[in-house]
């Protein structure tokens, strides 16, 4: 709603102003206190303006029902002024009464009724100019009145009387009222006895408190008057309006607007309400055209929709504020067409609003031309969502048209043509036609105007005349002959003028080429109601006079009937974004149709409601989209219908089949499924495929595949069937994807859908009709194949007859099959081509074979047998032999099997059926079947030929019978043993075991009983004959837990706890096994007191303890660990710590095991067993490394220290390197407390080697330590030398010059340095910690020096690193590995390229978080030595 114009108090005067619209809403009459009658048009332009002759203010303004005369009633005068449109003249009407109070024109007649203050009435007839006064109609002032449609006049006065009168003033009836009436109206209540459209009810507003419904009929049973009362909070009744089917719209002073029903069963029921004003309401009105109500109050105008009265409160409303009119608004009313709403005020202002723009539009592509005001049009593009141009015209158009570059606006028989471009609009042509125009259509250059059944085609912008051809093209009228059919509908595209004609039941569709300027196509059809071509004009939907829709294709003159087309369809719109989709519209629904020019069944067009492609189910209705009230469709764009509403807005309504089609991949599964089926129904296969990928349900893929085949989109079908893993379908489609001939393609697709008759029809019409015959042969439709072959390929009749005969034979129709085999036999010329001859001979051979088979089946066995024996065909022989075998003709069957070289079958019949062993014996050498050999052996055994039977059984690999014969008949027991041991046959083993038991050989019997799976019997036999060890040995690892448990209990009973424990362990009863081992230890140790050899007992106990450790390791049970630890740590008999170490390692408690190993090694080291301690630490190191456990630093340090001592001797003896030997002994001497048993010897050796190597300072240091603390223990041969070194420092120095030296003068040789393997910093060769990177450097197992990257090698056995030169020299001299003591080949020692020192053996650091303390590295400071 928007403001149209305002006429302020300057023209009307400052005071109340009254107005009225003429019939049709063309003129507005206004008059106020200024006594000036103003008549304006719909745009607010003054049509006439007159000053009234009498001084009184206006009290009422009313138009007659024709819209020709307006009456103005004034205060203080007896004259009513009449103004006539014709001539714009005023005429005074003297009523003869003073103090006029009320005035109203008859709704349907020329009468004007005027009431007075004293209750008198004047009726004036405008046509006859006759005045009819009626005195005393009421005793007091006439307050209100109303005319009915049939000319009755109801009056209400202050005397509280309601009178009903005729148009001549005669009284019909009176009704006394409870209060003064303020308004009365005629209406028609919805009652059971009301008939037709007669207004039989008068409604009266009684003083604003109640509403009286008074029935004026005189019928018997007419209801008594209804008086409707309302809640006090609503206030007084200001105004009310009847509307719809017996409803009343009531406005109350509080601002409430209520809808009340007058239906018979709900009279007075409040249906709904709305509160448009908060403080006060002054007037209401209702427009039936718009189905809207309007109210004024406060300082605003409210317009609210009433198309759904049940939900009035929730409906949208338009509000317009009039801030300068607060509390002054008086009346509100609409024009008849609902386009203009007018409001008056006591301030003398008239406000006019445009509430409904005329529904007028046209479209071209995605562009729309529509009215935005009464004389303004807008061109808008929906593809770019932008406004293109605005056109302002001088008229109110009655029709419009839009083309690619032009717009047409017209009224009656005139048309104005405008060119628009980027906002620039100009008038290019104005044309007047012979008669009123029905419609106008525009193309690029031409306009087609339909008027009076003829179409005028002309150029829009006429230029200067050129050639004759140009002049001829300026204008043309269709049809060209006067007597031709009447044109009912026209359309124009870029290339064609299209129109439809109708002459009763017949008509035509005509295509006229704008380029060639000639008629190119004319299709006779039923009378055409309307035509709707697609934008290109290549397809045209037309609706005939019966309401049926068709699609016409002018290219091939084909017509496709639209399935389930609604006869109520009044408009067709093609989707501008989807070439095969169009929408049919009726008054209540939109129906989407999809057109497919190429389907399995030709052209098809149907609503998009069915799930099965191309099938129309009559019991179902198409899926429709509801068309809301007031929505006028303009165009369809991408599934949305652009509609125009009465308020000028153009919303887009989504069609049902296009709903939920969105790229939103996060949507719900239900949304995706609906989107998939919607896309499928619209033939948008690619979009449907994308949704099927998201849904991933087989039924979706199959539906998409079927639709693709229905639309003959083979490539899409291939992609779909690949997704559902249908290789057969994919291969079949790949074979036809390149077929361009439609008939062939349709035939193949129909065959895939198993519509074989349809496929045959398509193939026969194609360029390759033989495909029909091939299909029928492949399907074994022999009757159809024979019928086709007679016309398509007579030479194939014999082969088809043979194949048909084979099928008949299979079905048991033997007589007919025999005839077909005879029919299939071919006689041919012997001189025919060799290959062809072989094919024909093979064919005849197959026919003879079939003939022979059927001959045997029908009972002529001798003839069939003879045919088969005479033939060279092995296949025929086998087939006939099988039939003879079924008929129990054994001898003939065996002969034919032998002829066919199926010796197994022949021999079986000879042996089992004919008992002809001699004939069978001739075949046995050719038979490899074990079954037949066994049958032959059985037969020979029964015959008593045991040796021959044995040979047959051996060929049959029937070892049970071979052993049985060897034992029972051939007495060859040794061979029987060999066979059973080789074959492991249980049954044969049982036979041998029984023989052994019988002849007193229990151990052998036990062996074979076990092979025979008779474990219980074998156990009992072993227990009886004290052969349990043999039983257990034979049982080995193949026994069950129950078997081992029985053995364990047996040994437990016998008191052999060690063996009992072994078998308890095997059956996973670790607790009992451990207990038995412990019992055995106690038993064995107890024998020492009885004189047993202690060393032997120690060996036995050691073995059992190791078993105990293994059992606990397997069980991983805390209780068993506790039991064993108690045994190992028994105060009365403590065990060697090595067992605790082994236990910890077995249990995976490597940290405790490592600690135990260090303790044990320290004990051995303290006792002087350095080699044993070294081995223990090395083995622990390797075991920890094997389990991926980090090596404790204490273990690594002790191992390095012991190793440094042990390699001193090889360095001296083998490598003759006294310097390195001295440095290793210095490393040991620094930690001499670790070697308490040989302190003197080690220090003596250290001094000696230091003296030899020139380490004067170190020799003096350790000699002094030795002499000071342990001089008496120094061997005699070294004591004097030690004293000399101490007393005379440097005496034995190699560089002595005879001078006396002091301790400060002594030095050691400078140690060479080598690069750190980690950071390449120079590090003294015997220092094992890098001072720069703080890394622990791996040491050489041959020299004790730190490793060098370029000399990196390792022992091939233990993988500990060593410098290549010294290590290879040591091994070459025959020495074992210094670390693992294994003898290795010098050839296995090789330099390692690019070694990683961080992962080499011996350098793995302890993991963070351990609690072990790292002892100081004795090699860290040797560089200073």
Model confidence band, residue 1411 (pLDDT cutoffs 50, 70, 90): very low
pLDDT of 297 higher than 50: yes
pLDDT of 979 higher than 90: no
Report the alpha-carbon distance of residue 344 to residue 330 in Å, rounded: 5
Task: Give φ, ψ of 186 to 5 degrees.
Answer: -90, 145
Sign of the torsion formed by the C-alpha atoms of 443, 449, 455 and 460: negative
3-state DSSP of 1029-1055 = HHHHHHHCCCCCHHHHHHHHHHHHHHC
Model confidence band, residue 804 (pLDDT cutoffs 50, 70, 90): confident
Report the alpha-carbon distance of residue 106 to residue 84 in Å, rounded: 17
Q: What is the mean pLDDT of the chain?
A: 85
Q: Strand pairing partners for 841?
A: none
Q: Say whether the peptide bond before residue 1397 is cis (omega within 30 degrees of 0).
A: no
The C-alpha R_g of the chain, in whole angstroms, comes to 61
Report the alpha-carbon distance of residue 1191 to residue 1185 in Å, rounded: 7
Q: CB-hemisphere CA count at 13 Å for 825?
A: 12
SS3 content of the chain, % helix, strand, coil (to 5): 40, 25, 35
Residue 1410 is predicted with a pLDDT of 31
Rounded mean pLDDT of 527-554?
Answer: 93
- pLDDT (tens digit, 9 = 90+) per residue, 609-640? 645 444 433 335 678 889 988 889 999 988 89
| Winning range, highest mean pLDDT, from 308-312, 616-620, 1232-1236, 1416-1420 | 1232-1236
Give whole-number Cα distances, 1301 to 707, 794, 1267, 1293, in Å.
114, 134, 19, 10
pLDDT of 1167 higher than 70: yes
pTM for this entry: 0.55
Residue 959 is predicted with a pLDDT of 78
CB within 8 Å of 1364: residues ≥ 6 apart: 1351, 1352, 1353, 1389, 1390, 1391
Rounded mean pLDDT of 251-265?
Answer: 92
Any idea which residue has 């005369």 for tokens? 69
Give one DSSP letter per residue of 403-437, joined into a string.
-SSEEEEEETTEEEEEEEETTEEEEEEEEE-SS--
Rounded mean pLDDT of 1384-1411?
Answer: 66
Instruction: State the burial class of residue 38 (Cβ atoms within 10 Å of its Cβ: 0-12, 13-18, 19+).
Output: buried
pLDDT of 992 higher than 50: yes
Model confidence band, residue 595 (pLDDT cutoffs 50, 70, 90): very high
Residue 1400 is predicted with a pLDDT of 56
Residue 342 is predicted with a pLDDT of 95
The two three-digit tokens of residue 42, written as one number: 């719909």
Report the alpha-carbon distance of residue 259 to residue 705 in Å, rounded: 56
The two three-digit tokens of residue 792, written as one number: 């398509």
Task: Give φ, ψ of 952 to 5 degrees.
Answer: -65, -40
Model confidence band, residue 136 (pLDDT cutoffs 50, 70, 90): confident
CB within 8 Å of 1210: residues ≥ 6 apart: 1342, 1370, 1375, 1378
CA 1041 to chain centre: 54
Give whole-number Cα distances, 1183 to 184, 383, 1190, in Å.
116, 80, 11
Q: Strand pairing partners for 389?
A: 379
The two three-digit tokens of residue 318, written as one number: 């338009």
Q: Strand pairing partners for 970?
A: none
Listed range (247-261, 588-602, 1107-1121) with the worst mean pLDDT: 1107-1121
Sign of the torsion formed by the C-alpha atoms of 812, 815, 819 and 821: positive
The two three-digit tokens of residue 1279, written as one number: 């004591």
Give whole-number Cα distances, 853 to 850, 860, 877, 1345, in Å.
5, 10, 10, 98
Closest C-alpha to 1402, from 1181, 1152, 1077, 1252: 1181
Rounded mean pLDDT of 368-388?
Answer: 86
Residue 662 is predicted with a pLDDT of 63
- pLDDT (tens digit, 9 = 90+) per residue, 638-649? 889 999 887 778
Model confidence band, residue 1296 (pLDDT cutoffs 50, 70, 90): low
The two three-digit tokens of residue 1030, written as one number: 């043999």
Give whole-number Cα distances, 607 to 152, 604, 712, 855, 1406, in Å.
53, 10, 19, 62, 80
Report the alpha-carbon distance of residue 964 to residue 1010 in Å, rounded: 18
Residue 1295 is predicted with a pLDDT of 65
- 309 DSSP 8-state letter: G
At residue 270's C-alpha, the angle toward residues 264 and 274, to 5°, is 145
Any idea which residue has 């039941």 for tokens? 505
Report the alpha-carbon distance of residue 1401 to residue 1386 in Å, rounded: 20
- 895 DSSP 8-state letter: H
3-class state of residue 1212 by DSSP: helix
Structural element, H or E, at residue 637: strand 632-637
CB 317 within 8 A of CB 276: yes
Report the alpha-carbon distance of residue 849 to residue 821 in Å, rounded: 9
Structural element, H or E, at residue 920: helix 917-921
Any idea which residue has 């009310």 for tokens? 240
Report the alpha-carbon distance of residue 135 to residue 543 in Å, rounded: 64
| Winning range, highest mean pLDDT, from 759-773, 967-981, 1141-1155, 1175-1189 | 759-773
Model confidence band, residue 1423 (pLDDT cutoffs 50, 70, 90): very low
CB 614 within 8 A of CB 604: yes
Instruction: State the burial class of residue 835 (Cβ atoms within 10 Å of its Cβ: 0-12, 13-18, 19+).
Output: exposed
Listed range (511-515, 860-864, 1207-1211) with the worst mean pLDDT: 860-864
CB within 8 Å of 928: residues ≥ 6 apart: none
pLDDT of 1092 higher than 80: no
Give whole-number Cα distances, 868 to 546, 823, 841, 1028, 1117, in Å.
75, 20, 16, 69, 80
CB within 8 Å of 1398: residues ≥ 6 apart: 1318
pLDDT of 1001 higher than 90: no
- pLDDT (tens digit, 9 = 90+) per residue, 26-61? 899 999 999 999 999 988 899 999 999 888 899 999
pLDDT of 937 higher than 90: no
Structural element, H or E, at residue 541: strand 540-544
Report the alpha-carbon distance of residue 210 to residue 966 in Å, rounded: 128
Give whole-number Cα distances, 1360 to 259, 916, 1275, in Å.
105, 81, 37
Rounded mean pLDDT of 391-420?
Answer: 92
3-class state of residue 1129 by DSSP: coil
What percent of the chain stands above pLDDT 90? Answer: 38
Report the alpha-carbon distance of residue 704 to residue 717 in Å, rounded: 8
Residue 77 is predicted with a pLDDT of 92
| More confident position, 1325 or 990 | 1325
Q: In angstroms, how far is the first alpha carbon of the chain from the final one?
A: 110
Report the alpha-carbon distance of residue 436 to residue 452 in Å, rounded: 7
Q: CB-hemisphere CA count at 13 Å for 525?
A: 31
CB within 8 Å of 1256: residues ≥ 6 apart: 1250, 1289, 1290, 1292, 1293, 1306, 1307, 1308
Rounded mean pLDDT of 666-673?
Answer: 77
Residue 470 is predicted with a pLDDT of 55
Instruction: State the burial class of residue 957 (Cβ atoms within 10 Å of its Cβ: 0-12, 13-18, 19+).
Output: exposed
Closest C-alpha to 580, from 675, 430, 447, 685: 685
Residue 472 is predicted with a pLDDT of 63
- 945 DSSP 8-state letter: -
């Amino acid at each position: 709603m928007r403001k149209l114009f305002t006429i302020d108090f300057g023209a009307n005067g400052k005071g109340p102003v009254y107005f009225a619209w003429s019939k049709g809403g063309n003129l507005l009459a206004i008059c106020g206190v200024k006594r000036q009658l103003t008549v304006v048009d719909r745009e607010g332009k003054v049509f006439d303006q007159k000053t009234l002759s009498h001084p009184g203010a206006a009290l009422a303004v009313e138009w007659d029902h024709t819209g020709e005369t307006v009456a103005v009633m004034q205060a203080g005068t007896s004259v009513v002024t009449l103004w006539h449109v014709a001539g714009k003249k005023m005429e005074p009407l003297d009523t003869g009464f003073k103090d006029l109070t009320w005035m109203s024109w008859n709704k349907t007649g020329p009468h004007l009724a005027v009431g007075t203050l004293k209750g008198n009435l004047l009726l004036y007839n405008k046509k006859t100019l006759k005045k009819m006064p009626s005195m005393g109609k009421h005793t007091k002032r006439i307050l209100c009145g109303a005319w009915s449609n049939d000319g009755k006049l109801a009056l209400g006065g202050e005397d509280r009387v309601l009178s009903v009168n005729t148009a001549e003033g005669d009284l019909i009836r009176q009704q006394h009222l409870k209060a003064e009436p303020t308004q009365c109206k005629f209406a028609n209540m919805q009652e059971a006895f009301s008939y037709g459209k007669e207004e039989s009810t008068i409604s009266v507003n009684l003083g604003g408190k109640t509403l009286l419904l008074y029935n004026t009929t005189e019928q018997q049973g007419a209801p008594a008057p209804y008086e409707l009362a309302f809640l006090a909070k609503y206030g007084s009744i200001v105004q009310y309006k009847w509307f719809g089917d017996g409803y009343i719209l009531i406005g109350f002073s509080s601002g409430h607007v209520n809808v009340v029903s007058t239906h018979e069963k709900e009279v007075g029921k409040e249906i709904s309400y709305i509160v448009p004003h908060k403080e006060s309401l002054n007037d209401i009105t209702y427009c039936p055209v718009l189905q809207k109500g309007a109210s004024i109050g406060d300082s605003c105008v409210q317009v609210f929709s009433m198309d759904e009265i049940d939900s009035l409160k929730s409906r949208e409303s338009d509000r317009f504020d009039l801030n300068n009119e607060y509390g002054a608004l008086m009346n509100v009313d609409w024009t008849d067409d609902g386009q203009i709403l007018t409001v008056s005020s006591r301030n003398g202002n008239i406000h006019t609003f445009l509430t409904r723009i005329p529904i007028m539009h046209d479209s071209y592509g995605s562009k729309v031309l529509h009215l935005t005001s009464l004389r303004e049009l807008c061109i808008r593009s929906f593809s770019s969502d932008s406004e293109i141009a605005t056109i302002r015209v001088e008229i109110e158009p009655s029709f419009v048209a839009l083309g690619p570059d032009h717009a047409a606006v017209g009224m009656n028989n005139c048309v104005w043509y405008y060119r628009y471009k980027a906002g620039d609009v100009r008038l290019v042509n104005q044309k007047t036609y012979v008669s009123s125009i029905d419609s106008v259509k525009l193309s690029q250059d031409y306009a087609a105007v339909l008027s009076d059944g003829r179409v005028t085609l002309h150029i829009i912008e006429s230029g200067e005349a050129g050639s004759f051809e140009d002049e001829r093209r300026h204008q043309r009228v269709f049809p060209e002959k006067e007597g031709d059919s009447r044109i009912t509908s026209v359309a124009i595209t870029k290339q064609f003028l299209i129109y439809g004609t109708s002459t009763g039941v017949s008509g035509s569709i005509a295509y006229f080429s704008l380029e060639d300027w000639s008629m190119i196509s004319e299709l006779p059809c039923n009378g055409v109601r309307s035509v709707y071509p697609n934008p290109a004009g290549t397809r045209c939907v037309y609706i005939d006079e019966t309401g049926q829709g068709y699609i016409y294709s002018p290219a091939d003159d084909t017509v496709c009937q639209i399935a389930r087309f609604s006869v109520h369809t009044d408009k067709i719109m093609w989707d501008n974004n989807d070439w095969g989709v169009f929408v049919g519209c009726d008054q209540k629904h939109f129906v989407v149709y999809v057109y497919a020019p190429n389907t399995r069944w030709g052209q098809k067009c149907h609503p998009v409601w069915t799930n099965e492609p191309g099938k129309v189910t009559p019991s179902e209705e198409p899926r429709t989209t509801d068309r809301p009230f007031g929505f006028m469709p303009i165009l369809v764009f991408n599934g949305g219908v652009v509609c125009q509403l009465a308020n000028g807005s153009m919303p887009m309504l989504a069609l049902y089949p296009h709903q939920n089609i969105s790229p939103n991949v996060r949507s719900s599964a239900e949304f995706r499924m609906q989107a998939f089926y919607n896309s499928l129904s619209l033939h948008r296969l690619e979009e449907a495929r994308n949704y099927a990928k998201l849904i991933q349900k087989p039924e979706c893929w199959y539906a998409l595949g079927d639709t693709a085949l229905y639309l003959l989109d083979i490539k899409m079908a291939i992609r779909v069937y690949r997704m559902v893993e249908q290789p057969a379908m994919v291969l079949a489609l790949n074979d036809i994807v390149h077929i361009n001939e439609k008939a062939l393609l349709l035939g193949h697709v129909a065959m895939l859908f198993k519509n074989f008759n349809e496929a045959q029809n398509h193939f026969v019409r194609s360029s390759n009709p033989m495909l029909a015959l091939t299909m029928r042969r492949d399907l074994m439709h022999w009757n159809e194949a024979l019928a086709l072959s007679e016309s398509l390929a007579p030479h194939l009749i014999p082969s088809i007859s043979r194949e048909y005969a084979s099928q008949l034979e299979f079905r048991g129709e033997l007589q007919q099959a025999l005839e077909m085999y005879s029919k299939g036999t071919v006689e041919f010329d012997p001189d025919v081509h060799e290959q062809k001859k072989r094919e024909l001979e093979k064919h005849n051979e197959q026919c003879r074979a079939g003939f022979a088979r059927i001959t045997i089946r029908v009972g002529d066995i001798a003839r069939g047998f003879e045919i088969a024996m005479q033939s060279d065909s092995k296949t025929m022989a086998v087939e006939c032999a099988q039939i003879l075998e079924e008929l129990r003709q054994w001898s003939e069957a065996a002969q034919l099997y032998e002829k066919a070289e199926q010796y197994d079958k022949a021999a079986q019949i000879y042996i089992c059926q004919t008992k002809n062993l001699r004939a069978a014996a001739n075949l046995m050498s050719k038979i490899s079947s074990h079954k037949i050999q066994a049958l032959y052996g059985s037969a020979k055994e029964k015959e008593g030929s045991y040796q021959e039977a044995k040979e047959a059984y051996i060929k049959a690999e029937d070892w049970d019978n071979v052993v049985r014969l060897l034992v029972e008949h051939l007495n060859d027991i040794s061979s029987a043993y060999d066979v059973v041991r080789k074959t492991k046959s249980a049954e044969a083993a049982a036979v041998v075991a029984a023989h052994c038991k019988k002849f007193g050989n229990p151990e052998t019997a036990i062996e074979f009983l076990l092979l025979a799976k008779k474990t219980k019997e074998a156990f009992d036999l072993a227990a009886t004959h004290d052969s349990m060890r043999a039983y257990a040995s034979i049982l080995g690892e193949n026994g069950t837990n129950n078997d081992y448990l029985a053995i364990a209990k047996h040994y437990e009973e016998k008191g052999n706890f060690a063996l009992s424990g072994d078998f308890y362990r095997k059956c996973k009863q670790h607790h009992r096994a451990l207990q038995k081992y412990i019992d055995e230890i106690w038993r064995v140790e107890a024998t020492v007191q009885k004189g047993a050899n202690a060393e032997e007992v120690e060996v036995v106990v050691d073995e059992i303890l190791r078993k105990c450790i293994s059992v606990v390791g397997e069980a991983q049970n805390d209780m068993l660990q506790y039991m064993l630890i108690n045994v190992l740590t028994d105060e009365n008999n403590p065990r060697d710590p090595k067992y605790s170490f082994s236990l910890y390692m077995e249990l995976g408690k490597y940290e405790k095991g490592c600690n135990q190993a260090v303790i044990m090694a320290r004990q051995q080291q303290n006792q002087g067993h350095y080699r044993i301690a070294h081995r223990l630490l090395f083995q622990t190191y390797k075991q920890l490394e094997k389990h991926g456990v980090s090596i404790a630093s204490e273990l690594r340090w002790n191992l390095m220290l012991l190793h440094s001592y042990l390699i001193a001797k090889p360095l001296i003896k083998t490598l003759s390197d006294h310097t390195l030997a001295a440095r290793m002994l210095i490393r040991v001497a620094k930690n001499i407390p670790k070697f308490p048993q040989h302190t003197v010897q080690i220090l003596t050796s250290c001094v000696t080697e230091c003296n030899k190597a020139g380490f004067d300072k170190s020799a003096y240091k350790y000699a002094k330590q030795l002499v000071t603390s342990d001089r008496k223990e120094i061997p005699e041969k070294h004591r004097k030398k030690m004293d000399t070194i101490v007393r005379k420092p440097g005496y034995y120095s190699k560089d002595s010059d005879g001078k006396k030296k002091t301790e400060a003068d002594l030095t050691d040789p400078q140690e060479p340095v080598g690069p750190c393997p980690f950071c390449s910093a120079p590090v003294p060769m015997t220092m094992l910690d890098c001072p720069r990177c703080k890394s622990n450097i791996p040491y050489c197992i041959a020299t004790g020096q730190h490793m060098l990257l370029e000399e990196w090698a390792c022992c091939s056995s233990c993988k500990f690193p060593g410098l290549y030169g010294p290590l290879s020299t040591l091994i070459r001299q025959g020495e074992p590995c210094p670390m693992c003591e294994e003898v290795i080949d010098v050839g296995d020692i090789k330099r390692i390229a690019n070694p990683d020192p961080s992962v080499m053996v011996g350098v793995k650091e302890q993991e963070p978080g351990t609690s072990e303390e790292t002892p100081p590295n004795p090699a860290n400071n040797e560089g200073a030595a």
